[in-house]
Structure 1
Amino acid sequence: MDALGRDLRYFVAVAEELHFTRAAERLFISQPALSKQIRMLERYLGASLFERNRREVRLTPVGRALLPHARRVLAEWDAAREATERAKAEQRATLVVGMNTSPGRGGLLPAITSRLTAEVPDVRLMLRQVSWDDSTAGLANGSSDVAFVWLPLGDAERYTWIVVAAEPRHVALPRTHRLASRETVDFADLLDEPFLALPPSAGRLRDYWLALDARGGRPPVIGAEIAGADETYEALVGGYGVCLLAVRNAPLVTRGGVVTRPVVGVSPSRLAVAWHTDDRRPLVQAYARAVRLAVGDGGPDSPDGDSADGDNGGDGAGFGR
């Protein structure tokens, strides 16, 4: 198409200028080179396109018939090339991956990345740490393209996700707490304890980590609000309350003076990779395919009732916010 497209472009320029010298200047080529290409096109078509004399250049009937079609072909070709360049740029673009805590459970992140780069070698990934007060890890405000999130998500209908890990929830306690000596803790024994809570902006996730569904309608006692791992640790050792977290996130807070214990009577936590349902960009869809390959499951990637409620699991997650 490149050679024919070039010749059609030359023909259109001459047809519009009706002057070979002006058309050559417009095309940034020499007039003899332009005349040569037009003659080659005429030979290819088997007909003259222009009538030439010393005073003027005019289109022949064949030239007039060709002109509107040549313009359409060139317009479609230009549009096709632009679409191709956009697609190539999207394939090469940076993909921003949001997260609230590290998703590196059992090599999960490297497994996803290796599968993505096998499909899109030029991809550039930017990992973005987002405060716990944004339960979507940057999806809601568009600062992340895909994100590792903890279920349940607010505005679940806006997102599609794949559950990549599930873990039992533990309770983090000061080492001096009356329940710290137990091997397991029944959630019923925590109902009157002050809890550390995510900010209200975390929405449904705040309720989930307070285990509202396991309280039988009894409201939680909020000892303090936390929006990061350091704040959580300081609040725990300061005796402001206890908190639920996923077992693999225990190292975030067990730095000295804090212990974690399994909790009976609450559902597992679930970690998912999520993106906007209406985001059809090739790079986002490639990341979703890489996630599916990494977890070995075409999986629970729709915001149905169970996924949105965050009450059933797969294989490992955490107190993520």
Structure 2
Amino acid sequence: MPAATVDPRLLRAFLAVAEELHFTRAATRLYVAQQALSRDIRRLEGELGAELFVRTTRQVSLTPDGARLLPYARRVLEAQSALLAAFGREGEADRPLLVDVNSPGLIGVRVLDRARELVPDIELMTRFESGLTGAAGEILAGRLDASFGRFAGLDPAVRARLEQQPVRYERMAIILPEGHRLAPLAEVPLPALAGETVYAGAGNPRTPEWTDLARRLFEDRGIDIAPPAPLAVGKDEFQRIMAKRGHPILAVTDFPPMPRTVLRPLVDPVPLSPVSLVWRKDTVHPGIDALRRAAAETGAAEGWLRRLPGAWLPAADAEVMETGPGRAAR
């Protein structure tokens, strides 16, 4: 029996393949990986209980059921566009797109810089805050358009109202005071942190997804999470407070340098921080398309979504990163 509702994203995938009659071209048009597009088509076929395409090594063609679906898909998507336009959600290309890139130097900055090259006539504005949980609330309230972070760490009710595209697995690292016993090491094995108290944003209402990732990583390893620190606003205040506390800081390898500290990658195992591009489901803006394309192209060129053998990643995060609409091939 066909599903009671059909996700418009699946219909968009179907329409792209139906018009291109080529999965690779359709995936490029949608800024998604071909594997993700094929998965969406299989899901739509499962929900409708019908085969929509005949696939051979040489060509793709519509089945009779696919040809029957085509006009319905076009009407549904046209109606959705009209609805969004009626409530001011379409035709917004003239307004700036506000993107939270978390911190200077992190992966969001690189994606945003490439997106600006792709759409030089679109104004993509940057803000530097910290944490996807805080940004997600702003996105849903309409005060922010997109951000980056650990999507699996958000509340399920919040995730249900957002879209995400996997961007990168970032290697995690530890920031140590210059005189720390582990500072001379080129890499810090996780077992060597046993007995340490590490700052991981505990108590920060904007970053509970990061603290949760730290708890999962430190569990059964004898590593404690430092108690909440005063909520710092700005890089200088954060560095001052961290220097005063003196705790090692959980970070990623691209974290901006801090005075009188060293940054060391973590190993044994190599822990990964999953990063997704996140936006509200009803957002219609060419800037979002540019961000998605920038993340997909740069990630594919640099292997951002390859996981090192034996790397550490929670199962919930692995599932999110494997099933996101923009998942690139490993």
Q: TM-score range by the shorter chain?
A: 0.5 to 0.7
Sort the Cα spacing of 1:296 and 1:189 in 2 relative to 1 into closer, same or farther, 3 A. Answer: closer
Is residue 160–residue 274 contact of structure 1 (8 Å, CA) maintained in 2?
A: yes
- Which secondary structure state, in structure 2, belongs to the residue aligned with residue 142 of structure 1? coil
Partners of 1:83 and 1:159 in 2: how far apart? Answer: 19
Q: Conserved in 2, the CA contact under 8 Å of 1:223 and 1:240?
A: no
**1:250 and 1:260 in contact (8 A); partners too:** no
User: C-alpha separation between the residues in 2 aligned to 1:207 and 1:136?
Assistant: 17
Q: Structure 2 CA distance, aligned partners of 1:115 and 1:90?
A: 17
Tell me, in whole angstroms, the C-alpha distance in 2 between the residues paired with 1:83 and 1:231.
43
Distance 1:148 1:112 in 2: 14
Q: Which residue of 2 aligns with 1:130?
A: 129
Contact 2:200–2:210 (Cα < 8 Å) also in 1: no
SS at match of 1:176: coil
Q: Is the 8 A contact 2:96 2:124 kept in 1?
A: yes
Matches within 5 A, 1:211-250: 211-216=215-220, 220-225=224-229, 227=232, 229-250=235-256
The answer (yes or no) to whether the contact 1:150–1:272 under 8 Å persists in 2 is: yes
TM, length-normalised to structure 1: 0.56
What's the offset of the Cα at 1:172? 0.6
What residue is the counterpart of 1:144 in the other structure? Answer: 144
Aligned pairs for 1:1-321 within 5 A: 89-102=91-104, 105=107, 107-117=110-120, 121=121, 123-132=122-131, 134-136=133-135, 138-155=138-155, 156-198=159-201, 199-201=203-205, 202-208=207-213, 210-216=214-220, 220-225=224-229, 227=232, 229-251=235-257, 253=258, 255=259, 257-264=260-267, 265-276=269-280, 278-283=281-286, 285-295=288-298, 305-306=316-317
Q: For residues 88-124 of structure 1, what are the alpha-carbon distances to aligned partners after superposition, in whole Å with 9 as ceiling and x for unaligned?
A: 741222211122113665843221222234xxx3x22
- Secondary structure of 1:274 counterpart: strand
What is the letter of the counterpart of residue 115 of structure 2?
Answer: I
Contact kept? 2:200, 2:250, Cα under 8 Å: no
Residue type of the partner of 1:183? A
Q: Which has the larger radius of gyration?
A: 1
Are residues 162 and 88 of structure 1, via their aligned partners in 2, closer, same or farther at CA, if it must alter by over 3 Å? closer
**Alignment check: 8 A CA contact 1:174 1:239 kept:** no
Tell me, in whole angstroms, the C-alpha distance in 1 between the residues paired with 2:90 and 2:112. 25
Aligned length: 221
Is the contact made by 1:164 and 1:295 (CA closer than 8 Å) also made in structure 2? no
In structure 2, do the counterparts of structure 1 residues 206 and 310 end up closer, same or farther at CA, with 3 Å as the change threshold?
Answer: farther
Where 1:147 maps in the other structure, the secondary structure is: strand
State the SS of the aligned residue for 1:216: coil
Over 3 Å counting, the alpha-carbon distance change for 1:193 and 1:92 in structure 2 is same
SS at match of 2:119: helix
